[in-house]
Structure 1
Amino acid sequence: MRERLRRRRGGGLVDEPDYALVGVVRIPEHEKSPARAIGRRVAWALTALLVCSVVVYLDRDGYHDARDVPMSYIDALYYSAVTLSTTGYGDVTPITESARLVNIVFITPLRVLFLIVLIGTTLEVLTERSRQAIKIQSWRNRVRNHTIVIGYGTKGRTAIDAVIADGVKPAEIVVVDKDPNALESASAHGLVTVRGDATKSDVLRLAGVQHASAIVVAANRDDTAVLATLTAREINPRAKIVASINEAENTHLMRQSGADSVVVSSETAGRLLGIATITPSVVEVVEDLLSPEEGYAIAEREVEPSETGGSPAHTKDLVLGVVRDGKLYRVGDERVEEIEVGDRLLYVRQGGSV
Structure 2
Amino acid sequence: MALLPHSTLKRKSTLPVWVSISWRVLAVIGMFVLAIGVHWFDRSGLRDNYDGHVSFADVVYFTMISITTVGYGDITPVTDEARLFDALVVTPIRIFAVLLFIGTAYNFVLKRTWDKWRMAVIQKNLTGHIIVAGYGTTGAEAVDELIARGTDPGHIVVIDCVAETLERARDCGCNILQGDATRDATLEDVKIRSAASMIVSAGRDDTSVLITLTARHLAPGLRISTVIKAEDNELPARAAGATTVINPVSFAGLLLANSCKSQHIADYMMDLASIDGPVALAERAVTPAEVGQPLSALATGIGLRIFRNNEMFGFFTPEANALQPGDTIVEVIHTQAKG
1:35 corresponds in structure 2 to none
Q: Which residue of 2 aligns with 1:309?
A: 292
Q: In the alignment, does 2:315 pair up with 1:331?
A: yes
Structure 2: where are the runs of 5+ without partners? 1-48, 50-64, 77-94
Does residue 1:123 correspond to 2:110, yes or no? no
Q: Mapping of 1:150-189 within 5 angstroms?
A: 150-189=133-172
**Superimposed CA distance per residue, residues 20-56 of structure 1 (whole angstroms, 9 cap, x where no aligned partner):** xxxxxxxxxxxxxxxxxxxxxxxxxxxxxxxxxxxxx
Letter of the aligned partner of 1:284 in structure 2?
D
Residue 47 of structure 2 corresponds to residue 88 of structure 1: no
Distance 1:191 1:173, change over 3 A: same
Q: Is the 8 A contact 2:126 2:190 kept in 1?
A: no
For residues 178 and 324 of structure 1, the distance between their equivalents in structure 2, rounded to whole angstroms, comes to 40
Superposed, which structure 2 residues align to 1:179-258 within 5 Å? 179-258=162-241
Q: 1:325 to 1:115 in 2, by over 3 A?
A: farther
Describe the shift of the 1:199–1:121 C-alpha distance in structure 2 as closer, same or farther (beyond 3 A). Answer: same
Q: 1:325 to 1:352 in 2, by over 3 A?
A: farther
| Paired amino acid for 1:119 | F
The residue that corresponds to 2:328 in the other structure is 344
Contact in 2 for aligned 1:247/1:264 (Cα 8 Å): yes
1:208 positional shift: 1.7
User: 1:231 is paired with a residue of what secondary structure?
Assistant: helix
1:319 aligned onto 2:303: yes
User: Deviations 1:65-93 (Å, cap 9, x if unpaired)?
Assistant: x8xxxxxxxxxxxxxxx767336262689
Q: Which deviations, in whole Å up to 9, do the C-alpha atoms of 1:313-341 show, x marking residues without a partner?
A: 12222011112245443222333431012
Identical-residue share of aligned pairs (%)? 31
Shift in Å at residue 304 of structure 1? 3.1
Tell me the distance in 2 between the aligned counterparts of 1:329 and 1:296. 22
1:268 aligned to 242, 251, 270, which one?
Answer: 251
3-state SS in 2 of match to 1:255: helix
Contact 1:140–1:208 (Cα < 8 Å) also in 2: yes
The whole-number CA distance in structure 2 between the counterparts of 1:181 and 1:137 is: 21
Across the aligned residues of Structure 1 and Structure 2, the Cα RMSD in angstroms comes to: 2.7
- Range that drifts further, 268-277 or 113-122: 113-122
Matched, 1:283 2:274: no
SS at match of 2:322: coil
**Contact 1:292–1:352 at 8 Å: present in 2 too?**
no
The C-alpha deviation readout for 1:121-147, integer Å capped at 9, x for no partner, is 110123233223212320122100100
**Cα distance in 2, alignment partners of residues 133 and 87 from structure 1:** 37
Equivalent residues of 1:175, 1:191 under 8 A apart: yes
CA distance in 1, matches of 2:157, 2:265: 34
Partner SS for 1:259: coil
In the alignment, the residues of structure 1 paired with residue 101 and residue 312 of structure 2 have an alpha-carbon distance, to the nearest angstrom, of 62
Give the residue type in structure 1 aligned to 2:195. A
Rounded Cα–Cα distance in structure 2 between residues aligned with 1:117 and 1:133: 24
Hey, what's the Cα distance between the residues in 1 that align with 2:189 and 2:252?
Answer: 34
CA–CA distance in structure 1, aligned partners of residues 124 and 144 of structure 2: 26
CA contact (8 A) 2:291 2:324 kept: yes
Amino acid at match of 1:122: T
Q: Tell me how far apart the structure 2 counterparts of residues 314 and 163 of structure 1 sit (CA, whole Å).
A: 29
TM-score, reference length from structure 1 = 0.67
**Relative to structure 1, is the Cα distance of residues 140 and 165 closer, same or farther in structure 2, using a 3 angstrom cutoff?**
same
Count of paired positions? 258
The structure with higher relative contact order (CA 8 Å, sep 6+) is 1
Structure 1, unpaired ranges of 5+: 1-65, 67-81, 94-112
